[in-house]
Amino acid sequence: MISKLLDFLKEDIGKEDITTQATIPKNQKISAEVIAKEDGVLAGLEESILLLEHFGLKYESSLKDGDAIGKGDVILKINGNARNILTIERVLLNILMRMSGIATYTHMLVKKSSAYGVIIAGTRKTTPGFRYFEKKAIKVGGGWPHRNTLDEAYLIKDNHIAIVGLEEAIKKARSKNKSKTLEVEVKNAEEALTACELGVDIIMLDNMTPDKAEKIIEKIKEKGYRKKVKIEISGGITEKNIDSYIKLKPDIISMGSLTTASKWLDMSLRVIW
């Protein structure tokens, strides 16, 4: 993990932090605080601590990832070499702000869905190189990260079906590995029922209106498959329209917007002496 964090730092520094090196005495010691500038859910604290420890900086925090934070709260107190603190400041804040923003947005949606027993899940719409952290932030916010990598589970999507057909794709995946979860994206009730008959684990209703999704769910219930298969709804779902989908009581709602639409939670680092 620390190697990933150091890669981020290398990207930010270049050869060296020329401003800090030129202006700050080599052995100068300071204390600083990371302050929340708005309310939210904290994430990225564990990663920040790893970075602080790597540079020999002392720290204090009464918080943990997943805690609610308010505007003005002190997230971290840091003490140590001034050059090190100033050099890692931006990467430290970027991690905290990005991850906390995702956790906050996820938590807000989880609060909406939990009364209906619906899981809020992420997708693979993540920032290249930062997927682990974004997926972890979803989990901190109470959501399900979904697949991190393509080898974790089968997910037969429209392009797979366009090439080999629905039934053939399902049969090939099942014959390859029976232990992995098998999910298939469908576009209508006929495909959904075929997938159920072939014993898939999850049916994905992708890019559908609430009315269309509801009709397909009802067909699955009528045929007696609802307790045998999980239903995931995905595609174009945001905080503005999610209520219409939650009321259908699918097992899962997956949302690319957890990572693409969540805003960063504002924070700052302040030298206190």
| Distance (Å, whole) CA 240 – CA 209 | 14
Stretch 44-52: mean pLDDT: 98
Q: Residue 257's pLDDT band (boundaries 50, 70, 90)?
A: very high
The pLDDT tens digits for 60-84 are 999 999 999 999 999 999 999 999 9
Domains, the chain, in order of start with CATH, read 2-106+262-271 (3.90.1170.20), 110-260 (3.20.20.70)
Nearest in space to 54 (alpha carbons), one of 31, 24, 81, 26: 81
Q: Residue 63 class from Cβ within 10 Å (0-12 exposed, 13-18 middle, 19+ buried)?
A: middle
Looking at the annotation, which residues are catalytic?
Answer: 125
The pLDDT tens digits for 10-28 are 999 999 999 999 999 999 9
pLDDT at residue 161 is higher than 90 = yes
Which pLDDT score, from 0 to 100, does residue 159 have? 96
Contact 120, 106 (CB under 8 A): yes
| Distance (Å, whole) CA 66 – CA 255 | 20
| Distance (Å, whole) CA 218 – CA 216 | 5
Contact 142, 136 (CB under 8 A): no
Stretch 164-168: mean pLDDT: 96
Q: Residue 125's pLDDT band (boundaries 50, 70, 90)?
A: very high
pLDDT at residue 1 is higher than 90 = no
DSSP state of 240: T
The pLDDT tens digits for 191-225 are 999 999 999 999 999 999 999 999 999 999 999 99
pLDDT at residue 178 is higher than 90 = no
Which pLDDT score, from 0 to 100, does residue 273 have? 84
Look-up of token digits 């005495």? 25
Percent of the chain with pLDDT over 90: 98
| Distance (Å, whole) CA 117 – CA 202 | 16
Q: In sequence order, which residues have a C-beta less than 8 Å from that of residue 2 and are 6 or more positions away?
A: 50, 51, 54
Stretch 219-244: mean pLDDT: 95
| Distance (Å, whole) CA 226 – CA 242 | 21
Q: What is the pTM of this model?
A: 0.95
Which pLDDT score, from 0 to 100, does residue 64 have? 98
Stretch 40-66: mean pLDDT: 98
